Amino acid sequence: MSRVLSPIESEFATVEEAEAYDRWFRAKVEAALASTQPSVPHDEAMARLRALIDEKR
């Protein structure tokens, strides 16, 4: 049986949904930490995002 969560307690409707998201998120973080791709400096990443936002406007 699934316990329903209140919107004040969680953005997920049930405990199972919250746990599934947590597993997915942890897997993404672990994959990122294990990645061998070169990292991108913060300033460069922000410049790329600013250019993308400006392009979409």
pLDDT the model gives residue 36: 95
Cα–Cα dist 47/13, whole Å: 37
Asked whether the beta carbons of 5 and 15 are under 8 A apart, the reply is: yes
Tokens of residue 3, six digits: 């316990």
**Residues 4-53: tens digit of each pLDDT:** 877 777 888 888 999 999 999 999 999 999 999 999 999 999 999 999 99
The backbone torsions φ and ψ at residue 4, rounded to the nearest 5 degrees and listed phi first, read -80, 135
CA proximity to 10, closest of 22, 26, 28, 27: 22
pLDDT value for 8: 79
Report the C-alpha gap between 13 and 3 in whole angstroms.
9
